[in-house]
Amino acid sequence: MTALDLSSPVAVVGTGTMGQGIAQVALVAGHPVRLYDAAPGRAQAAADAIGARLDRLVAKDRLTGADRDAARARLLPAESLAELADCALVVEAVLERLEVKQELLRELEGVVDEDCLLATNTSSLSVTAIGGALANPGRFVGLHFFNPAPLLPLVEVVSGFATDVTSATRAYETARAWGKTPVACADTPGFIVNRIARPFYAEAFAVYEAQGADPATIDAVLRECGGFKMGAFELTDLIGQDVNESVTHSVWQAFFHDVRFTPSLAQRRLVESGRLGRKSGHGWYDYAEDAERDEPHTAEKRQQPSYVVAEGDLGPASELLSLIREAGIPVREEEEDHGTRLVLPSGGQLALADGQTSVEFRDVVYFDLAVDYRRATRIALSASQDTAPQTLTEAIGLFQALGKDVSVIGDVPGMIVARTVARIVDLAHDAVAKGVATVEDIDTAMRLGVNYPMGPFEWSRRLGRGWAYDLLDELHVREPSGRYAPSLALYRHAYASDKREGSTS
């Protein structure tokens, strides 16, 4: 099954931001495009807005004047659904309410030909449930574009329970012909991106609720240590707290209140207070013109330690040994069967976040996971009230000697980046095991859909097969609500590695 022929008309119903974006994508690809909106005058206004955006593309030399004129000639506002009768594809982008979408699609089914592909751009509703209102749900598919649709490459092609393979394939190939990067997934709450991305927000909010760190510090650690483009607090302020919470709540409800997707009480209070983010002028941060910028906690300058002792290779943080040597700090290496820590001159230890807490040990400072320790500009450290001040001082001085800003947070198991990445990896393995999508499509979706520094499986390979499982297992011991219980898929993944290497531990 191939993509739709460029001579085939495409219709978009609903002319909001997403509807206009999808229409522009199909139009620039070469299709005749019909726009319809139930509100009088909106289809024409949307056509005018798309025309203005085409003008800007010409001004930026991204589109020729001739191509713009041809595209404008192919764009037609429709006054009734009957004018969509000859379309080969109709994409609805109307209000995110099940009954509204179902009623619209029932009307469309009575208008278009039998071989017309029907699609929804829903981000939160079940494709199966929407299609359940149709006499022929086999030709109905999800085409979830990301905002802004003309710029972002990812499209999730979602097969409902009754979607025919031929329909899904045609939708997939059409999206690809439009210059997009499609990924195929089953109809699961949140699809790929909104399902697997939940821990990015949830764990940041959990650290905040535990008073482990303030929003500015958590965001800085996620960006400067974790490699994420934006922190969870600034990103949800940009998205809109009400919108982000609504998606979280929708996924949580759809999974029958699965504790892994539980919404944040702190975010609920933010929404209730009307602090919705940038659009309201205040969210986690204050966006008033005269507001002071919130700065992350950054430790004052400390003297570097005279040497360190490396017990083991530090696992995912092994690159630190080279950086320490390059900074002129002697490293004494001692082989340990299970050692993955640094011993400081005071006798205190420095260890990579592993899901345990500093208070459990005599004198341990934890440091957070970095996507790239060489390029990271900030490192988070975690200590308890029982940690010796000299140990913390030496730990701070060590990372400052490597050119890093240092943020000291509370005694939070798994810290910030480590627990976030571990949970993302776990949900990704669980999704593959349940047939949601392939490894390759999940990695592609998370890199392109939410701009992660790498896909969950790329992370998993880099960190080691048992890393995420071990960290979550330790977290589960300390918070046995089920939120951090590793999935069976992650357990099998970790155990298979041990078995292959001859270990039964």
Catalytic residue positions?
Answer: 123, 144, 156, 194
Which H or E run includes 155? Answer: strand 154-159
End-to-end CA, the chain: 49
- Of 14, 12, 76, nearest in space to 39 by CA: 14
Element (H, E) at 73: helix 65-74
DSSP one-letter string for 338-375: S--EEE-TTS-EEEE--S--GGGSSSEEEE---S-TTT
Report the DSSP pairing between strands 89-92 and 154-159. unpaired
d(Cα 408, Cα 382) in Å, to the nearest integer? 6
3-class DSSP state of 57: helix
**Close Cβ partners of 502 (under 8 Å, ≥ 6 residues apart):** none
CA angle 16, 168, 256 (to 5 degrees): 75
What CA–CA distance (Å, rounded) separates 192 from 154? 11
Neighbour count for residue 364 (Cβ, 10 Å): 23
Strand ranges inside 160-247, DSSP E: 181-186
Give the pair of three-digit tokens for residue 324: 């320490």
Angstrom distances, CA of residue 100 to CA of 122, 156, 383: 12, 22, 53
Alpha-carbon gap, residue 288 to 282, rounded angstroms: 8
DSSP 430-495: HHHHTTS--HHHHHHHHHHHS--SS-HHHHHHHH-TTHHHHHHHHHHHHSTTTTTPPPHHHHHHHH
Rg, the chain, Cα only: 26
Phi-psi region of 178 (alpha: psi -120 to 50; beta: other; left: phi over 0): alpha
Instruction: Report the relative pairing of strands 140-145 and 154-159 from DSSP bridges.
Output: antiparallel
User: Which of 106, 115, 143 shows the shortest CA–CA distance to 19?
Assistant: 143
* Maximum Cα interatomic distance, the chain, rounded to a whole number of Å: 80
